[in-house]
Amino acid sequence: MVPQILAATMMLSQAGAQAQPAAPRPSFDAFEVATIRPISPDEGKGRYILMRGSDTFVEKDYNLKLLIAAAYDLNPREISGGPSWTDSDHFDIVARTPGTVRPTHDEQMRMLRALLADRFKLSFHREQKVFSIYELEVDKGGVKMKPSAEAANTPPALISTVYPDHVQMPARNASMTDFVSLLQRAVLDRPVVDKTGLKGKFDFDLTWAPDTTQFGGALPVAPATASSPPLFTALREQLGLTLVATRGPAEALVIDHAEQPSPN
């Protein structure tokens, strides 16, 4: 995930003049226009979703199941059904967002959900299933994160930057809900449930050496000589949090219908 920073500006005229009212925010119900391009397996050069500038949404190298996981804030294991190509076929998307105001992450995902229904003809239902899950808890040594120094209305920013032997994740103004959301949909191989009881927003920096269970197996295993610890150790030592493996219920999404995306 990349930072979603909304800059609110007020235009002032000459001395003594009144400030002009801010332009209304767009509704962000759907992208204005979107190009969807199927890609071959050898084209994949890094998977990501980001905003380019204030009005261009970019998605790189996602299959339909991963797009659904991002749009509906799910772990891919919580998604089942659909044709075989939901796993095998990958796509790049470039879309124009309404207006000139940069949409927040939630607004981007709202537009992505609309695109999935319109261009992939996605329909689904939900049901409760029991999964292998992780529960995120406060470690016995106590929390090591700092309360956020950002303004209360600053959108959360959690950035995963991958290096040859480690991953860095600086987080600013992030709640435990934000953190758990990122862990389950992009990092870990199973759903994650927040059991910390922590409220408010936090600033922290997390650095760890990845393994094959993370990022859908898309990253190489960190070498034994890596200076960064494994993720579970890093969570305890750097944030004062721990992941507990267990089984429990979660709401699953079952694909009822999906089609190859309509032409651009």
What are the boundaries of each domain within the chain? 33-127+252-257, 128-250
Question: Contact at 8 Å (CB) between 124 and 253?
Answer: yes
Q: In this predicted model, what pLDDT tens digit does every residue of 202-260 receive, in sequence order?
A: 999 999 999 888 888 777 778 888 889 999 999 999 999 999 999 999 889 999 999 99
DSSP state of 17: P
Q: Which residues contact 229 (CB under 8 A, 6 or more apart)?
A: 208, 209, 237
Give the ranges where 98-201 is alpha helix by DSSP (H): 105-119, 176-182
pTM of the model: 0.80
- Mean pLDDT across the stretch 37-43? 85
Token pair belonging to 157: 């920013």
